[in-house]
Amino acid sequence: MAAFYTVPIRNGLRIITQQATFKILQITDLHLAERYFLKVSQLRRLRRLIDREKPDLIVNTGDFFCRRRLFPPHMIVKLFTALIGKEYPWAFAWGNHDCEAFRWGRWYPVEDWEQEFKLFEATLSQTKNCLYIPSHEFISGWEDLSPEETEQEMEALLLPRGNGKSKEYFDGFYGGNFKIELFDARRNLKSWDLFIFNSRQKFHIPPQALHWMEQEIASDERPVPAVCFYHLPNRAFQQAWDAGFAKGIKGESINYLKDTGRVHEAFKRAGTVRACFAGHDHKNDFMGIYEGITYVYGRKTLRFSKGAVDAVRGFSHPPKDSSPLEWGAKLITLGLQEEDPMRNQMYVSTVLHSRTEDPIPIDPLPRCVPVPG
Ligand SMILES: [Fe+2]
């Protein structure tokens, strides 16, 4: 369990640890919309799985809430804190349903959406053990957008109209884009960068956040590997699958929505991104390599919503395409031992209720070299 302390850095925080390895459990797509008692019993099941793996940090990659909102999001955060977060530090990446939870099924009229999101950022950052940095102001103030990016953001900022129909969107919230550094206290050096991004409802990670990330990475004298967490898969998941460089289960289409490939291009330019973890597509659980970067689907966590079931006797594994998956999580083990941090080891395994699958190494690669043309 967590043996570290944190200090604030610009638009993020630094975890200072003496450990030789650091374990992160990615949980995703919990869709906590069901009745209270069901939520409690399912979260207790999840707690048992977490107790088995004892991660240092949980990263929740979104769709934590649901637009069928029987509970307001801050109550769900309270419940999660009581059952899990009290003992396990956790970070949160916004998902499309989390954005929608503020927009649909509303229980009081909201005048100012931006203000609503900002208030919730404050709630998260003040929640015990929730490693969340309010970043709306910081990221939205980041300029140097290209004409195409400006045009995209104008569209993303369209204000809500009508009466809550599915065609509405508002992607003008720039919070949830921040950095967590893993710092090796024994040698007094940074070992890993973890970037948490808000992939929004449609337009994916804001270009401002990607520019900020590139500048952060470029300003490091000594490069360290970066791992990114966000909810929506980006187009590179599709490209890795199409190229035959992916392994695992693809039970549904890859919904990268309006990502045109710009997210991967930014990761490639940054040069240190080793792996990215997404969620959203409940029946997909594969990992693939595209142009030197490993893209990994999280395992849908809990059986709420569609595409996942509890482990039952006789459950066949691996399941057939498009059948529901047994719910679980992903365990990411990061090494902090190499003299050159870029060579630090990384392993990923799927965690199911009954067992944890064998870890798969995500090899250290030379710094990604942009592909010409
Ligand atoms: Fe989603």
Spacing, Cα 95 to ligand 1 middle (Å):
6
- Where does the pLDDT of residue 289 fall: very low under 50, low under 70, confident under 90, or very high at 90 and above? very high
- Where does the pLDDT of residue 143 fall: very low under 50, low under 70, confident under 90, or very high at 90 and above? confident
Spacing, Cα 97 to ligand 1 middle (Å):
6
Predicted pLDDT at 100: 76
Spacing, Cα 300 to ligand 1 middle (Å):
10
Q: What is the mean pLDDT of the chain?
A: 89
Predicted pLDDT at 255: 97
Spacing, Cα 342 to ligand 1 middle (Å):
32
Q: List CB contacts of 345: < 8 A, sequence separation 6 or more.
A: 333, 334, 335, 337, 338, 361, 364
- Where does the pLDDT of residue 319 fall: very low under 50, low under 70, confident under 90, or very high at 90 and above? low
Spacing, Cα 16 to ligand 1 middle (Å):
32
Question: 329 in helix, strand or coil?
Answer: strand
Spacing, Cα 99 to ligand 1 middle (Å):
10
Predicted pLDDT at 168: 62
Residue 347 has pLDDT above 70, yes or no: yes
- The lowest-confidence range among 185-194, 269-278, 309-318, 324-333 is 309-318
Spacing, Cα 231 to ligand 1 middle (Å):
7
Spacing, Cα 43 to ligand 1 middle (Å):
19
Residue 249 has pLDDT above 50, yes or no: yes
- Of 47, 73, 70, the C-alpha closest to 62 is 73
Spacing, Cα 96 to ligand 1 middle (Å):
5
Spacing, Cα 294 to ligand 1 middle (Å):
20
* Rounded distance between C-alpha atoms, residue 102 and residue 269, angstroms: 34
Q: What is the pTM of this model?
A: 0.94
Predicted pLDDT at 123: 94
Residue 349 has pLDDT above 90, yes or no: yes
Predicted pLDDT at 310: 87
Predicted pLDDT at 373: 42
Return the bridge partners of 12, or none: 9, 179
Spacing, Cα 199 to ligand 1 middle (Å):
10
Joined tokens for residue 44: 């207790």
Spacing, Cα 279 to ligand 1 middle (Å):
7
Greater confidence (94 vs 166) lies with 94
Spacing, Cα 350 to ligand 1 middle (Å):
20
User: Which secondary-structure segment (H or E) carries 262?
Assistant: helix 262-270
Residue 315 has pLDDT above 70, yes or no: no
Spacing, Cα 47 to ligand 1 middle (Å):
22
Show the domains of the chain with their CATH numbers.
4-361 (3.60.21.10)
Spacing, Cα 372 to ligand 1 middle (Å):
33
- Where does the pLDDT of residue 174 fall: very low under 50, low under 70, confident under 90, or very high at 90 and above? very high
Q: Per-residue pLDDT averaged across 69-81, rounded?
A: 86
Predicted pLDDT at 115: 82
Predicted pLDDT at 38: 83
Predicted pLDDT at 141: 93
* Rounded distance between C-alpha atoms, residue 295 and residue 228, angstroms: 9
